[in-house]
């Protein structure tokens, strides 16, 4: 596969620009939680409205992931990313001027569409801008876009809101999106839509994706991962608060647990580059998440968790589990049935990931309510990791089959 040459005069490799654009998109996902108390006070937002604002991105991913992936494959990968960054910049800039909850919700929905348009084509675009030797490592870096962007927003948002206002925070991220748009425009080469070369209508690409087993396996594996990661990260502040820690301490510890996930994503690329199979890396990740959750939440009569031991296990859970998304992104571009369906497969994976993020926290909360505490949270994650083991073997068997090896080499 020939790698498109990057524009003359720019030293930054296109693949790094794509990763940074993904981090920019994730900043918009993470910008809301730090501002929510202020928004509730200034815009008179109810708790129900606040929950919809928080879940707007996940709802967009659940309902539009596959459709946006199809659109990205059809309109062109670079163009999709540019349109997405433009939508993020526009919605965030307008958000600083709103005065009602309904207006903010509509703009948040628009940001959800922009987010999807940025992240869906990215793996396919990275694949076209790097050599085969660089692919696994770069996909590991791409897997960091969500935890890196969310952690940056959680760390910088409170400070910016306290020093200026939530409106300035919104406008600042609009400016960051404009800079990301310019970087993509200048540094990422124009890649013709793969579907134009293969003369595939969107219906054919959709049917081809949905009848491909690999697309289902990677999508479901991402759902299994995201459901437990989001549940654990989402309820950590509550758990630490019940242990007697202050709000500022719980926020800092939770942000740290989220950001170490970046290390796992990067490490996954190195493991794959050194010859580890996708199945082995996925098994390592799911086993580590099961052990980490067991140590972070398990309690027995006569023994209880300390904040330090719970924090160390939560860090292990997030960091070691981070090898899963990086591996799945690298796998998605390999199991896609054609070049014209890579973004569609990623879109399907994003759709299931959003479902996992949406369904995981309520499942953990339901179990905690039944047993009267968080001590059986590890049982939920253990069950999900068991399903992850099955999917890891399914994915490994598909990648290691002789017919698949021939197609990947061609």
Radius of gyration of the chain (CA): 21
Q: Rounded distance, CA 137 to CA 181, Å?
A: 24
> Could you tell me which of 124, 117, 81, 119 has the C-alpha nearest to residue 333?
124
Q: Render pLDDT for 41-88 as a digit per residue (tens, 0 to 9).
A: 888 877 667 767 777 777 777 777 777 777 777 778 899 999 999 999
In whole angstroms, give the CA distance from residue 18 to residue 317. 27
Assigned architecture for domain 10-191: Up-down Bundle (1.20)
pLDDT of residue 244: 81
Q: Could you give the CA distance from residue 121 to residue 15 in angstroms, rounded to a whole number?
A: 12
Q: What is the pLDDT of residue 216?
A: 93
Q: Mind listing the pLDDT tens digit for each residue in 161-200?
A: 889 889 999 999 999 999 999 999 999 888 665 544 444 5
Residue span(s) of the chain under CATH 1.20.1250.20 come to 10-191, 193-410
Q: What pLDDT digit, counting tens, does each position of 212-234 carry?
A: 888 999 999 999 999 898 888 87
pLDDT, one tens digit per residue, over 332-361 is 888 888 777 887 888 888 889 888 888 888
CA distance 195 to 330: 21
CATH match for 193-410 among 3.90.950.10, 1.10.10.2840, 1.20.1250.20, 1.10.490.20: 1.20.1250.20
Q: What backbone phi and psi angles, to 5 degrees, belong to 76?
A: 115, 135
Three-class SS of residue 373? coil
pTM over 0.85: no
| 286 within 8 A of 102, measured Cβ to Cβ | no
Q: How far apart are CA 128 and CA 191, in angstroms?
A: 8
Secondary structure class of 303 (helix, strand, coil): strand
Give the angle subtended at the CA of 134 by the CAs of 393 and 69, to the nearest 5°.
Answer: 65
């Amino acid at each position: 596969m020939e790698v498109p040459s990057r524009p003359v005069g720019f030293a930054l490799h296109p693949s790094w620009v794509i990763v940074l654009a993904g981090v920019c998109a994730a900043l918009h996902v993470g910008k809301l939680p730090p501002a929510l108390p202020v928004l509730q006070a200034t815009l008179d937002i109810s708790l129900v409205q606040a929950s919809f604002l928080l879940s707007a991105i996940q709802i967009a991913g659940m309902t539009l992931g596959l459709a946006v992936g199809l659109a990205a494959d059809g309109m062109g990968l670079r163009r999709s990313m540019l349109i997405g960054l433009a939508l993020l910049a526009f919605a965030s800039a307008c958000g600083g001027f709103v005065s009602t909850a309904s207006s903010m919700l509509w703009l948040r929905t628009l940001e959800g569409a922009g987010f999807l348009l940025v992240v869906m084509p990215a793996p396919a675009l990275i694949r076209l801008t790097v050599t085969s030797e660089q692919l696994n490592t770069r996909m590991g870096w791409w897997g960091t876009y969500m935890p890196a962007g969310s952690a940056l927003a959680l760390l910088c948002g409170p400070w910016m809101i306290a020093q200026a206002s939530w409106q300035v925070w919104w406008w600042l991220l609009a400016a960051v999106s404009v800079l990301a748009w310019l970087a993509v425009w200048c540094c990422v080469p124009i890649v013709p839509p793969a579907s134009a070369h293969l003369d595939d209508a969107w219906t054919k690409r959709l049917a081809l994706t949905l009848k491909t087993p690999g697309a289902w396996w990677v999508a479901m594996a991402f759902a299994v991962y995201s459901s437990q990661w989001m549940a654990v990260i989402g309820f950590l502040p509550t758990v630490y608060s019940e242990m007697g820690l202050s709000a500022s301490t719980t926020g800092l510890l939770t942000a740290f647990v989220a950001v170490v996930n970046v290390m796992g994503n990067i490490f996954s690329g190195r493991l794959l580059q050194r010859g580890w199979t996708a199945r082995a890396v996925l098994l390592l990740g799911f086993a580590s998440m099961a052990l980490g959750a067991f140590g972070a939440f398990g309690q027995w009569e006569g023994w209880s968790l300390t904040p330090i031991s719970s924090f160390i296990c939560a860090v292990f859970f997030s960091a070691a589990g981070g090898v899963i998304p990086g591996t799945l992104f690298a796998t998605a571009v390999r199991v896609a049935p054609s070049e014209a369906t890579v973004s569609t497969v990623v879109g399907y994976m994003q759709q299931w990931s959003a479902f996992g993020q949406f369904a995981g926290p309520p499942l953990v909360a339901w179990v905690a309510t039944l047993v009267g505490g968080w001590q059986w949270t590890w049982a939920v994650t253990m069950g999900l990791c068991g399903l992850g083991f099955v999917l890891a073997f399914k994915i490994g068997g598909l990648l290691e089959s002789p017919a698949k090896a021939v197609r990947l080499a061609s």
